[in-house]
Structure 1
Amino acid sequence: MPYATAADGVRLAYQVAGTGSALVLLAGQANTHHWWDGIRADFETGHRTITLDWRGTGDSDKPDEVYSTRGFADDVVAVLDDLGVRQAAVYGTSMGGRVAQWLAARHPDRVHSLVLGCTSPGGKHAFERGPEVRRSLGQRDPAAARQALLELMYTPAWLASTSGPYNTLGDPAMPVYAKRRHLYASNKHDAWDVLPDIRVPTLVVHGTEDRFNPAANAPLLVARIPDARLHLIEGARHAYFDEFRSVASSAVLAFLREARQRPTAGLAHGKK
C-alpha cells in the first residue's frame, strides 16, 4: 500500500489503477476509496485513476484533531506530489465534491477539469437537508439509521432488486472521534466566495430526488462557477453514480474527453 505524507506528517494511503491521463476520484464523508469500487472500472481504460483514504479512514492515519474540507484538499495535493502528477482531472462526490471545490480554487495549476457530484457550496447560501432527514439518520437504533441512509442513497426499486454490497455507507472500522471530525468538516464547508475562482471546465451532476444533499444545490454551483454546466439525472438519489451507473459514468466520461480537447483547460486561471 503506497502512502503520501501530508505537510503535518499524517500518512495518507492511496490507490492507483488503470492507464491514461490522471483522474482523481474523491469519496464522500467518512468513506474510504471503496466508495468507488462499483464503478471505478468505468474509468480505468482511459484514465489512471487515483483514490485515497481520507485522514481518519481506512489505512490512513487518524489524528484526533480538527479536519476541514480545505485541509482535505491539501491532502489530495500531497498524494499528487507523491505520484509526481502535475495536473489531473478531478471527480468529487458528496463531501469529496466539497473538497474538489477547494482543490480547483486554491490549486488551479493541479486541476485540468472538474466534476462535482451530489455536492454543495456549503455555508449560508446552500440548501440544507430537511429536519426529517436529520432525524432519520440520528435514530438510536443502528439498523434503523442504516436503513434510513440506504433509502437516502438509493431508490426503493434498486434496494428491492439488489442485496449489496453497498459501498457508500461509511467506513465501518472508523473511530467514533474521526466520524465526528468528518461530520464537522463537511458541515463547516463554505466555498461560496472562492467558487468564481474555479477556471476549469466543470460539470455538476446531481440526482433530482436527492434529499441527503438537496438537488437545489446543483444550480447554485453552476451559476457560481464561470465555466460550469449542469447534468441532472432524473429519479436518482444521493448515490446516483452507483445506481444510475451507465448514465452517470457515460456523461462524466464524455465531459472529460471534451475537456481534454480544450487546449486552454487548466490554464485559464485569472485570464477569463
Structure 2
Amino acid sequence: MPFAHSFDDTPLWYDVRGNGGGEPVLLIAGNGCDHSVWNAVIAEFTPDRTVIIYDHRGTGKSGNNLTGTWSTRDFARDALEVLLEAGFGRAHVYGHSMGGRVAQWLASDKPAAIKSLVLGATSVGEKRGIPRTPEATKAMRENDSVALRNMCYPEWWSSENPEQAECGEPRPHDMEAFLCHLRASTDHDSWEIASSICSPTLVIHGNEDGITPAGNAEILAARIPAAQLLIVDKARHVYWAGRPEVHQKVSTFFSNAEKGRFG
C-alpha cells in the first residue's frame, strides 16, 4: 500500500490507476472527501492515461495530523508530495470543490508541475466570490448527508445510483477533521494568485449547484488568463452525475493541452 509523506510527515495514501499514454492526471477531491468521490469517473480517464488518486489527510487511509490553522495552500503541498512520490514531475491536475481551491494554489506555487488545470465547482473564495447560502453552510457544518446529497446530485440519479452517490459523500475520520477541512476551504482566497496562473485552464460548473453558487465560475474564469468556461445545464455540485459528455470534454481538453491547442 503506497504512501507519500508530506512536509510534516503525515502519511498520505495514494494509488495509480491505468497505464495509458500521455500526461498523467492527478485528481484532488473536495471537502472531507477521500478518493472514492472519483469512483464513478476514474474509468472515463484510465483507457487513455494514468490516473493518480489519493486520500486527503483526515480522510480514508491517510493520516490525521490536522490543526485548525490548516489552509488550502497546505493541502496543495500534500498534493505535490503525492504527485512526486507516485513518480511524476508533472500532470494534468483536476480539482473538484475544495480540491479546485487546492489546485489553484498548486498551479500558482508549482507551475512546472501543471500540464493543464481543471477547476470544477469551485471559486476564488468567499471573500471575493459568491458565498455559500446559509442552507449550504449549515449542511456542511453538520455534515448532513441527506441535504448535501440533494445539493450534489439530481434526485433521479441518486435513486438509480445509490452506491455511487454514497461514495461521493464526505468521509472524514471524525468531525474535528471535517471542520479543519471546512475552515481551510472557507478561508481560501485566491483572488490575487488566480491572475498569475499560466497553465491552460478549464473551469467547469453546474448551473444548479447548491453548494458553490454557479456565478463563481464566471468570476474565477475571468481572473485566470485565457481560461475556458464550461457551464453544465441542469447540473448540481457533482455536475458529472449522469453526464458522461462532461468528462469526454475534459479528456479532449487534456489532449489539446498536450498538443498546445488551448482554444
TM-score (norm 1): 0.90
Q: In the alignment, is the contact (CA less than 8 A) between 1:39 and 1:242 conserved in 2? A: no
- Note the C-alpha offset of 1:182: 0.7
- Aligned-partner SS, 2:58: coil
Higher gyration radius (CA): 1
1:222 match: 221
User: 2:175 is aligned with what amino acid?
Assistant: V
User: 1:70 is aligned with what amino acid?
Assistant: R
Q: In the alignment, is the contact (CA less than 8 A) between 2:13 and 2:54 conserved in 1? A: yes
2:245 aligned to which of 229, 239, 247: 247
Partner Cα distance (1:230, 1:72) in 2: 25
User: 2:62 is aligned with what amino acid?
Assistant: S
1:77-126 CA deviation, whole Å, 9 max, x = no partner? 11122123111101110010000000001110100100000011104211
- Note the C-alpha offset of 1:138: 5.5
**Unaligned stretches of 5+ residues in structure 2:** none
Q: In the alignment, is the contact (CA less than 8 A) between 2:157 and 2:241 conserved in 1? A: no
2:192 match: 193
1:36-47 equivalences under 5 Å are 36-47=38-49
| Of 150-159 and 110-119, the range deviating more from structure 2 | 150-159
Matched, 1:257 2:259: no
> CA 1:132–1:61 in structure 2 vs 1: closer, same or farther (change >3 Å)?
closer
1:238 match: 237
TM-score (norm 2): 0.93
- Note the C-alpha offset of 1:206: 0.5
Matched, 1:133 2:132: no
**Unaligned stretches of 5+ residues in structure 1:** 266-272
Q: In the alignment, is the contact (CA less than 8 A) between 1:22 and 1:47 conserved in 2? A: yes
2:63 match: 61
**Alignment coverage as a number of residue pairs:** 258
1:73 match: 76
- Aligned-partner SS, 2:162: coil
Q: Please, what is the CA RMSD of the aligned residues?
A: 1.7
Q: In the alignment, is the contact (CA less than 8 A) between 1:154 and 1:243 conserved in 2? A: no
1:1-272 equivalences under 5 Å are 1-19=1-19, 20=21, 21-65=23-67, 66-137=69-140, 145-166=144-165, 167-171=167-171, 174-244=173-243, 246-262=244-260
Q: In the alignment, is the contact (CA less than 8 A) between 2:39 and 2:164 conserved in 1? A: no
> CA 1:6–1:134 in structure 2 vs 1: closer, same or farther (change >3 Å)?
closer
- Note the C-alpha offset of 1:175: 1.7
- Aligned-partner SS, 1:90: strand
Partner Cα distance (2:225, 2:201) in 1: 9
| Identity score, percent | 38
